[in-house]
Amino acid sequence: MIAKGKKFRYIFNQLIKGQKDLGLKYLLLIWCIFSGYFVNFIKSNKFYFNKKVYKYFYGSYNHTWVNERAIEIPLVNQEIVTHLKNKKSILEIGNVMNYYHPFKHEVIDKYEKGKGIINQDALDFKLQKKYDLIISISTMEHVGWDEKIKDETKIIRAVENLKKHLNKEGQIIMTVPLGYNPFLDKIIEKKQLTSEAYFFKRGLFGRWKQISWEKAKHTQYIEEISAKVLVLMVIKN
């Protein structure tokens, strides 16, 4: 049995045994010092939303560990799982979940082609049925902004159209990056879509933390690193 105080020295000596490269020895020394912190970092694969614990989502598609998908997917998927268990109907705006947790549902996407995808605009699509849950993951920020003619109120009208497709007790779960669409940022600040909005800020090593609007506002969107603050909105009839 190795005494606790001698454990580090023993491991280091075993690693460098026979090593003549001084640079490699220093790298091994650094690894010995920080490996424990790295392991603990990997184990702390969780974030909090309203005091509830969620696990980060790490997927190869779109490298989710470096962007807001790491928390968007688990947050929205929790609602999806609950609704599917209760045999509730789900509509998605923007074809996103099919890349991560595919399930049988209808999708409204203006541009993307695929099975079950309806190529219509969120503003004026009309379906014959209503839904218990409508989800949208980092899609609605493009409405009225990434268009030939910018329209600062189009997203408000689009959300009104979504609400027309909700059942009486239905709800919309929508995530958007703050700072991408200045029109939308003002709408969020004025609570024109909903008063139920939650904010998450990305920190060191892609760790996300729930914050207040006061800490979230005036966030700049940096395209190279994607969202710094994510907004989760819950909209009801």
Which of the two residues, 173 and 10, has the higher pLDDT score?
Answer: 173
What whole-number percentage of the chain has pLDDT above 90?
Answer: 70
The 10 Å CB-count burial string (b at 16+, else e) for 95-123 is bbbbebeeeebebbbbeeeeeebeeeebb
Q: Tell me how far apart the alpha carbons of residues 176 and 183 are, in angstroms, rounded to a whole number.
A: 12
pLDDT of residue 2: 43
Which of the two residues, 38 and 57, has the higher pLDDT score?
Answer: 57
Q: Where are the beta strands (DSSP E) in 178-228?
A: 197-202, 208-211
Looking at residues 110-131, what average pLDDT do you find? 94
pLDDT of residue 7: 47
- What digits encode the pLDDT tens for the residues 106-120? 999 999 999 889 999
pLDDT of residue 42: 53
Q: Which two tokens stand for residue 197?
A: 């909005």
- pLDDT above 70 (res 30): no
- What digits encode the pLDDT tens for the residues 149-177? 999 999 999 999 999 999 999 999 999 99
Q: For the chain, what's the residue count?
A: 237
Domain assignments of the chain as residue spans, ordered by start: 4-43, 46-236
Q: Which two tokens stand for residue 106?
A: 């209808």
Q: Which CATH class is domain 46-236?
A: alpha beta
pLDDT of residue 40: 52
Q: What's the chain's average pLDDT?
A: 86
- pLDDT above 50 (res 190): yes
Kind of pairing between the strands at 131-137 and 90-93: parallel
Q: Which residues pair with 232 in a beta bridge?
A: 175, 198
Distance, first Cα to last Cα, the chain? 66
Residue 38 neighbours by CB distance under 10 Å: 10
